[in-house]
Amino acid sequence: QVQLVESGGGLVQAGGSLRLSCAASGRTSTMGWFRQAPGKEREIVAAISWTGRSTYYADSVKDRFTISRDNAKDTLYLQMNSLKPEDTAVYYCASTPTYITGVLTTLSGYRYWGQGTQVTVSS
């Protein structure tokens, strides 16, 4: 059983930055950040392997967002720079409880989810 709690969301102006955190309890493996905008399906933003050596970014956030993790602190991060209004969404962290190598980009492969944190980017 894994529990995930996101924090760090808020309101920011376009071009600004936010850092999201996800505190985990229980075993985590590959983890990811997802977002869901109003009226749209949840989509992957970024993913990271357990070791942190492999990462994946959606094309829409590549070169702007950075996913990282600190396993000693059981915490996942998403540094978001150069934010755009289209980044507005509820952001969720997720984990596969069993260890896998590399990253996982399929939403259905993630079993454990946080409650989400709202990110709003004003124009």
pLDDT higher at 101 or 31: 31
39 vs 48: CA distance, rounded Å = 27
What phi-psi label fits residue 74: left (phi over 0), alpha (psi between -120 and 50 degrees) or beta?
left
pLDDT at 33: 98
Which tens digit of pLDDT belongs to each residue from 22-80?
Answer: 999 988 899 999 999 999 999 999 999 999 999 999 999 999 999 999 999 999 999 99
Average pLDDT along the chain: 96
